[in-house]
Structure 1
Amino acid sequence: MLITLDFWAVLAEWPLLLKGIAWTLGLTAVSAVLGLIVGIACAWARNDGPPWLGWPAAAYVELLRNTPFIVQLFFIFFGLPAIGVRLSPEVASIIAMAVNLGAYAGEIVRAGIASTPRGQIEAGLSLALSRVQTFRHVLLPQALRKVWPSLVSQMIIVMLGSAVCGHISTEDRQHPRAAQILWRERGVQGHRRVSDAQRGHRPHQQERHGQEHLAALRQRAGNLPG
């Protein structure tokens, strides 16, 4: 018996799907802005910042890039309350997405800065610009133009990963309620049919075992001396 999914049941709940899409785009937009700011700050700290900022920035980047996003999300939402910091699911999701994107964006922006000719820095310093001004007005604009496609790709990856935020009750396009819609029609019917088939098969199986047991008893009784 072939069971198929009824996608028309999903389309029938289009208001819920639109709400989920709006939540996803909103979470992604806010976290993308914050993550880009964090990434630029990390790139500056590792390239031109003081050593006491460079090492923590490097540790942050390596830690966030080598741990799963769901672990970071659970740590923020479930771990911070242990020290008295309680966040709503939406705020925790935005923070987790932003810090995750910031770690990757920092390396992407740093690669763009490294590809900028050294003469650009020397030209900025020769115009009496400070190192911060040189970074802001000379290096950063050129670096962002070079790595913008990579940044957009990383933002899309973060958007796709936002489905994990549904585990802490954040509404997004893949919230568990969408799964309930998907399986409401054919999924329930399929489960019911399988259950009915199992219930119908069980009595026949028990009857067969009973007949085999009775035959064994009769054979054993026939072998006994009279």
Structure 2
Amino acid sequence: MNYKLDFTPVLDGLPSLLIACLGTFALALGGMVLAIIIGIGGVMLRDSRIAPVRWFIKSFVEVIRNTPFLVQIYFIYFALPLAGLRLDPTPTAIIALGINGGAYAIEIIRGGVQSIGKGQIEAGLALGLHKAQVFRLIVLKPALRAIFPSLTSQFVLLTLTTSIASAISAYELTSVAQQIETSSFRSFEVYGVVTVFYLVISWLMMRFFGMISTRYFSYPVK
């Protein structure tokens, strides 16, 4: 084996890689916010009295969970323009991440909601609270306490999934790494360093969620 390591291209591109990490965090944050909105809204609508609404939510979850994320992001980026809706790579990636994460969030949050005793819900209704108020005040926070570890693990996975957004040239860590590798042909060095970057990003995300858990849910995420 005559291969000699040369990290010079990586060191030269290090500023670009560090800035690209911010792009990764931005995609992840946008995707998480949208996923939470979809997750909470989907749980509230999943048990709607309107049958087509229930059917739509259940179908949405099954379709998203049983198709590859790459196909989903390609559909949004390449197929929707045929219907007159054209988006730039970054908003496309955020929407795709949010939709994908939202489908999983619906099932995770739903599991937490089902863990709440019906007696508590009935008590809230007996006090004159609307269903939305019961959901927000009585159901949601205890449910989040129960599902927080699962939800944060899903969001860390969503953060790592941002790398697939490089397929549509969204600005994030993997897309910048591909540019450096293409110009330098130092695949081992570039992707070795990027692997370390993703490990650090995952660790930072877990520490961040751990602080939230300690502050609001009384136990740390391990």
TM-score by length of 1: 0.77
**Aligned amino acid, residue 92 of structure 2:** A
Q: Cα offset for 1:184?
A: 5.1
d(CA) in 1 for partners of 2:92, 2:52: 28
- The whole-number CA distance in structure 2 between the counterparts of 1:96 and 1:186 is 31
The change in CA–CA distance for 1:186 and 1:93 in structure 2 (over 3 A counts) is: closer
Equivalent position of 2:112 in the other structure: 112
Amino acid at match of 1:56: F
Residue 38 of structure 1: aligned partner: 38
Q: Hey, which bits of structure 1, 4+ residues long, moved more than 4 A?
A: 182-186
Which residue in the other structure is 2:10 paired with? 10
- List per-residue Cα deviations over 1:127-158 (Å, max 9, x = no partner): 11122221121111111121111111111111
Map of 1:61 onto structure 2: 61
Instruction: Give the number of equivalent residue pairs.
Output: 187
Using the aligned pairs only, state the percent identity.
41
Per-residue deviation, 1:66:
0.3
Q: 1:183 to 1:93 in 2, by over 3 A?
A: closer
1:126 corresponds to which letter in structure 2?
A
Counterpart residue number, 1:203: none
Residue 155 to residue 123, structure 1, CA distance change in 2 (3 Å): same
The question of 1:155 aligning with 2:155 is answered: yes
- Are 1:70 and 2:73 matched, yes or no? no
Counterpart CA distance in 1 for 2:36 and 2:173 is: 23
Give the Å deviation of 1:56. Answer: 0.5
The structure that has the greater radius of gyration is 1
Is residue 4–residue 186 contact of structure 1 (8 Å, CA) maintained in 2? no
Spell out, residue by residue over 1:166-195, the C-alpha distance to the aligned partner (whole angstroms, 9 max, x if none): 1111111111x413434755749xxxxxxx
Q: 1:62 to 1:186 in 2, by over 3 A?
A: closer
CA RMSD of superposed structures (Å): 1.8
Structure 1: runs of 5+ lacking an equivalent? 189-226
Q: Could you say if the C-alpha distance between residues 102 and 186 of structure 1 is closer, same or farther in structure 2, counting changes exceeding 3 Å?
A: closer
In structure 2, the residue matched to 1:121 is 121
Q: Matched residues in 2 for 1:124 and 1:86: separation?
A: 45
Q: 1:157 to 1:49 in 2, by over 3 A?
A: farther
* 1:143 corresponding residue in structure 2: 143
Distance 2:48 2:116 in 1: 14
* AA aligned opposite 2:13: E
Question: CA–CA distance in 2 between the matches of 1:44 and 1:21?
Answer: 34
Q: 1:40 & 1:71 partners in 2: Cα distance?
A: 25
Structure 1 residues 48 and 119, CA, compared in 2 at 3 Å: closer, same or farther? farther
SS of alignment partner, residue 174 of structure 1:
helix
Matched to 2:78, the amino acid is F
- Kindly indicate whether the alpha-carbon contact (under 8 Å) linking 1:28 and 1:158 is maintained by their aligned counterparts in 2: yes
SS in 1 for 2:28: helix
Asked whether 1:98 is paired with 2:102, we answer: no
Structure 1 residues 61-104: Cα deviation after superposition (integer angstroms, max 9, x where no partner) = 01000000000000000000001100011111110000000000
1:30-53 CA-to-partner distances (Å, cap 9, x unmatched) read: 110111010111111123554332
